[in-house]
Chains A and B, each alone.
Chain A
Amino acid sequence: MTWPKKYGGQERSFLDRYVVTEEFRVANAPVRAHFTADRQSGPVLLKYAADEIKKDVLPRITRGECCFCIGMSEPNSGSDLFAASTKATKTDEGWRVNGTKLWTSNAHHADYMIGLFRTSPSTEENHRHGLTNFLVDITLPGISISPVHNMAGLHEFNEVVFDDCLVPNNHVLGEINGAWKQATSELAYERSGPERFLETFYILTEMVRTLGTEPDNRSAEGIGRLVAQAHTLRRMSVSVNGMLQAGMEPVLEGAIVKDMGTVWEQALPRKARDLTAFTDIGNRTNFDRLLRYAIHIAPKLTIQGGTTEVLRSIIARGLGLR
C-alpha cells in the first residue's frame, strides 16, 4: 500500500496500511503467505535492490503473485543473528552459497528468500561485520527445502540447505559485509506493528461472547483488565507508527511495544482459560477449538522476530544501562 506507484504500489500512508493490517489480524485472516513480503522483504528491496530487480519483483508482490521467506536463523544462530555461518563466496559467475538456514517459515511456499550470508569473517572490533543480504530465487539449483513440523502439528518451519547454489552478482542487497547497518531501521517496522499484540485477539472477542452479556464480577474484571491492556497497547503501537510516518526511527519504542505486546498476546489464552473455567452455558465448542489452537501457538509469540530477552537488552541499552 505504501510503495511507489511505479512499482505497483498505492503511495498510501503507513497509518492506512496499519488500519488494513489490524483488520486482517482481528479477523484472523490467512495473510501470512504475503505478509512477509509486504512488511519486510519489499521495503528492503525498495531501499537496496538494483532498479531492474525492483521493476521485476515488486509489481509481482503487489499483485499477490510472489511470496517471500526470511533466511536469517541457522542451527547455531538464532537470537545471535551475527553468528550466521552460511557462506557466500565470490566467484567469476556470481556468489556461491553453502550452508543451512533453519526455522525458515513458509520457505516451501515462497518464491524468494532474503538471505543473510557470511561474506567475510567478523572482526575483533565489530563482531557484526562480514554479513551481506542477498535476494535468492528459491527455485535455483542447489537449494533443498525440508519441512520441520511444529508442536501444533503444522508445517510452517523449514530447513533450507544451500549446496553450491549460484546467486547472481546483481542480487546483492546493500553494502557487502555491512548488513548490520541495514538492520536497525527495519526492526522498528517489524516490531511495532499491530501483529505484535493482535495475534490471539480473536480469543478476547470469543471470550467476551462466551461469558455472555451479564458477567459476574470476576468475569467482568477479567474482561475489563484485558480490554484496558489491549487498548493501551494499541495506542502505543499507533503512536510508534505515527513516528515512523514522520520519518523517525523509534527503535527503543518499537522494542517496548513488541516486548509488552507479545507477552500480552501470549498470556491472553491462559487468562481466557482461567476466566471461562466455570462457564458452560451455550455452545462453547468453537471457543474451545480456538483456545486450544491459541495455547498451542502461544510459545512462539515471544520468540519470533526477536525474543523477549533480546528486546529487554535493547530497552536496557536505550535506558543507558549497557
Chain B
Amino acid sequence: MTETDDIIIDTTARIFSELGDPQTLNNACDDTWQQPLWTALADSGLTRAWVPEDQGGAGAEITDGFDILVTAGRYAVAVPLAETLLAGWLLAKAGIMMPDGPLSVAMGNADNPFRINSNGSLSGTAKVVPFAGDVDHFTVLTDKGVALVKASDCNIETGVSMAGDAMSDVTFDGVTPSTVAVVPGGFGIKDLMLMGAAIRSAQMAGGLQAILDLAVDYAKERVAFGRPISKFQAVQHNLARLGGETAVAVAAAGSAADAIANAEGANAQQFDQAVFLEVAAAKIRTGEAVGDGTAIAHQTFGAIGFTSEHVLQRHTRRLWAWRDDYGSESEWAVRLGEMIATNGADELWPLLASR
C-alpha cells in the first residue's frame, strides 16, 4: 500500500465519519444529511476518481477507486458515490466530459441494448436503476455508444431498494441525450457489467468488515448468563466463521480490483477471460459471504439488531441490496460455469494457476 492509497482511504473515512456516520444517519428524521455529505465527497474529488485530469477528473488509479469503495462500504454508503464513479469511468472511456452532480448508470442487457433512434433520440426502459431519483444525469450504454442524459428529461418511477435507498425504473421516452460518443475497441455491456460487479464486490467487502467489527465489539460487551457472550465457545465459533467469510470477501474483491487495474493499465479495450474469472468469483464469493455473514451478525445481536433504530440493519440491508446488483451469485455462477465447461476440464487448472 502506497502513501497515496493511505491518503485516499483516510480522506474517504474522515468524510464519512464526520458527515455520513451510519448511526447518525439512522437516527436522522429527514435526509438533510445528503447534501453536505455529497458536497464534501465531490469537493475532495473522490466522486471523479476514475476520470482523467484532462477530462475534469481527479485522475486517480483504478485501485484507488476501489479503496474508496471498500471504505464507503464500511460506512454503508447511502449516496450515489459508487454509481458516480462507474458513470465517470464509462464517460471517460467515451471521451465525454463529466458533468457536475451525482450520476447513475442505466443498464440495458446484452440481448436487447438501448438504441438511438434515427432522429437521435433514445427510447426504452432501464430496470431498477440505483439512486435514480437522486441523480442529475444518467449514463446509458447504447448501440451507438455512451449517451449522457439529463435526469429531468426522463420518466422516473418512485421506488426504493432493499436498503431503502432510491432505486427505480427509468423510462427514456424519446429523450434526446446531451451527448453520445463511441467507446473504441468493441467495449460492450459485458465489460460494463464486470466493472459494476467488481464495484459492488468492493462495497460488500467493506460492509462485511463493518458488521464483523460491530458484532465482535457487541459480543464483548453484552452479558448473558453472568458473562460476556464472547466467552461462549458457540458464539466464538460463529464469529470466527464471520471473520473467515469477511477475509474471503476482502481477498476476492481485492483480487478482482487488481485484475481490472492491470487490464486498464495495459489499455485492454475489452476484459479477457482472466478478468471475467476474477470478477465473477468476487461477485459470487462476496455475495455468498454476505448471506452467511449477515446471518451470523444478526444472530450475535439478537432482538436489538432486528430493530430499525439499530445501526446493524443499515449495513445488512445494503449488503443484501448490493448482492443483487449487477448480477446475483447465481447469474454469475451460471456464466462462469458455462465458460469453464466450454473451455473444457483440462483448461480449468491452467486458468486458475495463471492468476
Contact = CB atoms under 8 A, between A and B. Distances in A.
Contact of B349 (A26, A221, A223, A229): A26
Nearest to B233: A313
B337 A204 contact: no
24 contacts: A204-B348, A205-B345, A208-B344, A208-B348, A213-B342, A214-B341, A215-B337, A221-B330, A221-B334, A224-B332, A228-B332, A232-B248, A232-B281, A232-B285, A234-B355, A235-B252, A312-B237, A313-B233, A318-B243, A319-B212, A319-B243, A320-B216, A321-B220, A322-B231
Contacts of A208: 340-341, 344-345, 348
Nearest to A210: B345
Contacts, number: 153
A234 B352 contact: yes
Contact of A209 (B239, B336, B345): B345
CB-CB nearest 10 A-B residue pairs: A224-B333, A220-B337, A224-B337, A223-B337, A209-B345, A224-B336, A316-B236, A315-B240, A312-B240, A228-B281
B255 interface: yes
A297 interface: no
Q: Which label, helix, strand, loop or mixed, suits the secondary structure of the A interface? A: helix
B160 interface: no
Interface in A1-58: 19, 22-23, 26
A256 B336 contact: no
* Dominant SS among interface residues on chain B: helix
Given A227-B348, A234-B352, 9 more contacts: A204-B348, A205-B348, A208-B341, A227-B277, A256-B243, A260-B244, A312-B240, A315-B243, A321-B231
A219 B341 CA distance: 10
B135 interface: no
Interface of A: 19, 22-23, 26, 201, 204-206, 208-209, 211-215, 217, 219-225, 227-236, 239, 253, 256, 259-260, 309, 311-313, 315-316, 318-322
Contacts of B235: 321
B244 A219 contact: no
A213 B243 CA distance: 37
Interface of B: 212, 216, 219-220, 230-231, 233, 235-237, 239-241, 243-244, 247-248, 251-252, 255, 277-278, 280-282, 284-285, 288, 329-330, 332-338, 340-342, 344-346, 348-349, 352-353, 355
Contact of A236 (B231, B247, B353): B247
A223 B345 CA distance: 11
B341 A231 contact: no
B341 A229 contact: no
A268 to B, nearest CB: 13
A253 B246 CA distance: 12
A228 B280 contact: yes
Contacts of B216: 319-321
A312 B247 CA distance: 14
Contacts of B278: 231
Contact of A224 (B230, B247, B340): B340
Contacts of B231: 321-322
A236 B355 CA distance: 12
A305 to B, nearest CB: 17
B345 A319 contact: no
Contacts of A312: 236-237, 240-241
A239 B281 CA distance: 16
Interface centre among A233, A313, A316 (most CB of B within 10 A): A316
A313 B344 CA distance: 40
A309 B277 CA distance: 32
B349 A224 contact: no
A228 B251 contact: no
B239 to A, nearest CB: 6
B216 to A, nearest CB: 5
Residue of A205, A239, A319, A321 with most chain B CB atoms under a 10 A cut-off: A321
B340 A259 contact: no
Contacts of A214: 341-342
B239 A227 contact: no
A253 B338 CA distance: 32
B333 A206 contact: no
B219 A223 contact: no
Contact of B255 (A217, A235, A316, A318): A235
Nearest to B219: A321
A227 B247 contact: no
